[in-house]
């Protein structure tokens, strides 16, 4: 594909090639171009991301990749209403994600923008009841466009948050616009962007962000067209290869 052996060890270069090949077209070609353009940087940045990010923050959870039914993060904390506006009681998240959330909402608050949280950690059992509620309401096919099956929700990771109204009206609000511009600088990434349903499996959710760490969020922006699914799919293949 391209000569990388001078920069990265041969086995690493092979893994990088394999992982790019695992991406679906038309994105594969675009990611390849952006990586090839700055391959030395890419190899260095990949190493930095993997050395500085907890593996759990980068786990691929989508329609094809599930978490075990018994997966419960071991460092869940209650979200603190003194730190962030909470639209419902007793929400939990992983400690590392909650800390990053507070830092981010304080930065927004300093600019007069309030970001409120509507959903955070969801257990396997809770997701199961949520999904079956949607199925009853709209049938299985429509339900699976808007809600994850149990085990397939990023919310089970304890690092995903829904903000504001949980409708795409949120994108037009000051909080929604601020997050679009700034979330990645705090390690948050929009999981289901507009127009990417075929890739992510879900219709646009302008309110749903996942904490992946600052280094990974910037890595996603620099090489993966700012698309979380592409970066997580790449890393999923890379780490298994």
In the complex, which residues of this chain contact Zn ion (CB under 5 A)? 162, 208
Q: Which residue has the CB atom at the shortest distance from Zn ion?
A: 208
Partnered with residue 209 across adjacent β-strands are 161, 190
The residue with tokens 């698309």 is 227
Q: Which of residues 53 and 156 has its CB atom nearest to Zn ion in the complex? A: 156
Give the SS3 label for residue 6: coil
Q: Which of residues 190 and 199 has its CB atom nearest to Zn ion in the complex? A: 190
Phi-psi region of 147 (alpha: psi -120 to 50; beta: other; left: phi over 0): beta
Nearest distance in Å: CB 166, Zn ion: 8
Nearest distance in Å: CB 112, Zn ion: 26
Nearest distance in Å: CB 47, Zn ion: 31
Alpha helices by DSSP H, listed for 53-195, are: 95-109, 124-138, 140-146, 174-182
Q: Which of residues 178 and 202 has its CB atom nearest to Zn ion in the complex? A: 202
Q: Which of residues 156 and 237 has its CB atom nearest to Zn ion in the complex? A: 156
Q: Which of residues 61 and 233 has its CB atom nearest to Zn ion in the complex? A: 61
The DSSP secondary-structure symbol of 131 reads H
Say which residues have a Cβ less than 8 Å from residue 32's Cβ, sequence separation at least 6: 1, 20
Tokens for 67, please give them.
Answer: 């978490």
Q: Which of residues 53 and 154 has its CB atom nearest to Zn ion in the complex? A: 154
Distance between CA atoms of residues 123 and 235, nearest Å: 25
DSSP letter for each residue of 136-168: HHH-HHHHHHHSPPTT--GGGGT-EEEETTSSG
Nearest distance in Å: CB 95, Zn ion: 19
Nearest distance in Å: CB 210, Zn ion: 9
Distance between CA atoms of residues 167 and 165, nearest Å: 5
Nearest distance in Å: CB 102, Zn ion: 19
Nearest distance in Å: CB 162, Zn ion: 4
Q: Which of residues 208 and 236 has its CB atom nearest to Zn ion in the complex? A: 208
Burial class (CB in 10 A: 0-12, 13-18, 19+), 231: buried
């Amino acid at each position: 594909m391209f000569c990388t052996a001078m920069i990265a060890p041969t086995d690493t270069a092979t893994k990088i090639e394999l992982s790019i090949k695992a991406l679906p077209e038309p994105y594969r070609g675009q990611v390849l171009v952006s990586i090839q353009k700055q391959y030395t940087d890419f190899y260095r940045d990949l190493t930095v991301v993997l050395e500085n990010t907890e593996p759990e923050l980068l786990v691929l959870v989508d329609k094809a990749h599930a978490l075990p039914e018994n997966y419960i993060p071991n460092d869940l904390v209650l979200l603190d209403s003194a730190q962030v506006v909470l639209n419902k009681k007793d929400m939990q998240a992983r400690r590392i994600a909650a800390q990053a959330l507070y830092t981010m909402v304080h930065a927004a608050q300093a600019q007069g923008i309030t970001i409120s949280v509507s959903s955070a950690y969801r257990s396997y059992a809770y997701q199961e009841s949520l999904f079956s509620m949607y199925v009853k309401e709209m049938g299985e096919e429509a339900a699976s466009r808007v809600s994850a099956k149990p085990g397939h929700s990023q919310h089970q990771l304890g690092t995903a948050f829904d903000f504001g109204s949980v409708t795409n009206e949120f994108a037009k609000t000051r909080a929604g616009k601020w997050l679009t511009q700034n979330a990645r600088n705090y390690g948050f990434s929009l999981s289901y962007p507009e127009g990417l349903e075929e890739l992510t499996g879900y219709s646009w959710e302008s309110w749903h962000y996942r904490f992946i760490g600052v280094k990974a969020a910037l890595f996603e922006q620099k090489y993966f067209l700012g698309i979380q699914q592409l970066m997580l799919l790449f890393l999923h293949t890379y780490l298994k290869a």
